Amino acid sequence: MEFVTLNNGVEMPIEGFGVFQIEPEETEKCVLDAIVVGYRHIDTAATYGNERGVGTAIKKSGIDRKDLFITSKLWVEDQGYESTLKAFEKTLERLGTDYLDLYLIHQPFGDYYGSYRAMEALYKQGKIKAIGVSNFDSARLVDLIMNNEIVPQINQIELHPFLQQKEAIKVMKEYGVQVESWGPLAEAKHGILEEKELQDIAKKHKKTVAQVILRWHLDNGIVIIPKSVNKDRMIENLDIHDFNLDSADMRIIEAFDESQNKIVDHTDINIVIGMNKSKTPE
């Protein structure tokens, strides 16, 4: 497994296993399968409703906690200093752990300044190894950095060949924030796996299109958290550490950039309203 070193010196596996949209009753088995095939980085969130399943799988796996990198996220309804402290303790209880490797503000809505300051306090107490944000555009990210003590270690954003986030990545590099991609395969939608040029690259490397896309992220230094409920697909997604794309491959993939969100548009007022009204499952 390859690692990235965050701006506070913490090492993070560059590939993790995401559990977004995995049903709570399926989560334990899926996470156990992921750990068995080699994943050591698991990404969940309070709003997914499956933190308990992740925690049970971790316990049953027999893997030492220090050898796992566990991420969870704070939902919008829990934004604010005191609310964040309470929500964090609930997340620890559901996961069955006494610390997190990474805790993220899930969405840039509500009192995320209060939340971030609570996370800074938890970080200083050693309850979180790294803190960060998710879905923050460059302006919000820089404003947060300029008005707080600790520079976020991570910004987890929608990123894939159709949305390459080049300008956002430049800003994150300038401030030392590691970029992490959710939806690295664009949810296997929009015809991404059927693109002829990507299929040609895959044939050249004797890999699948999905493996080529995931490798493209890694070759750009981007952390990824692909999701699957299929064990064979989990193995396929992890089998990307034995090859690299060449400059010609990279130029071809670069041309796919449409610079448009394909999954969630955080400038859509209806999205903002919906997320502010959404409640975290118990």
Q: How far apart are CA 232 and CA 229, in angstroms?
A: 9
Does 282 map to a domain?
A: no
Does 168 map to a domain?
A: yes
Does 11 map to a domain?
A: yes
Q: What is residue 48's predicted lDDT score, i.e. its pLDDT?
A: 97
Helix (H, G, I), strand (E, B), or coil: what is residue 4? strand
Average pLDDT over residues 139-158: 98
Does 101 map to a domain?
A: yes
What is 159-179 written as a DSSP string? -BTTB--HHHHHHHHHHTPEE
Does 60 map to a domain?
A: yes
pLDDT in tens, 67-93: 999 999 999 999 999 999 999 999 999
Structural domain count, the chain: 1
Using CA atoms, how far residue 221 sits from 4, 6, 10, 181, 212, in Å, is 8, 12, 16, 10, 14
Helix (H, G, I), strand (E, B), or coil: what is residue 250? helix
pLDDT in tens, 26-45: 999 999 999 999 999 999 99
Helices and strands: H and E segment counts in the chain: 11, 10
State yes or no: pLDDT of 1 exceeds 90: no
Which entry of 48, 112, 116, 123 is annotated as an active-site residue? 48
Average pLDDT over residues 48-54: 97
Q: What is residue 129's predicted lDDT score, i.e. its pLDDT?
A: 98
pLDDT in tens, 180-204: 999 999 988 889 999 999 999 999 9
Domain that holds residue 79: 3-277
Using CA atoms, how far residue 18 sits from 62, 102, 128, 218, 241, in Å, is 20, 14, 19, 16, 18
Does 245 map to a domain?
A: yes
Domain with 220 in it: what CATH number?
A: 3.20.20.100
User: How far from the centroid of its chain's Cα atoms is residue 89's Cα?
Assistant: 21
Q: What is residue 281's predicted lDDT score, i.e. its pLDDT?
A: 87
**Catalytic site includes residue 48:** yes
Residue 16 phi/psi, 5-degree rounding, is: -130, 180
Cross-strand bridge partners of residue 133: 105, 155
Mark 164-188 as b/e (b = at least 16 C-beta within 10 Å): bbeebbebbeeeebbbbbbbbbbbe
Average pLDDT over residues 152-167: 98
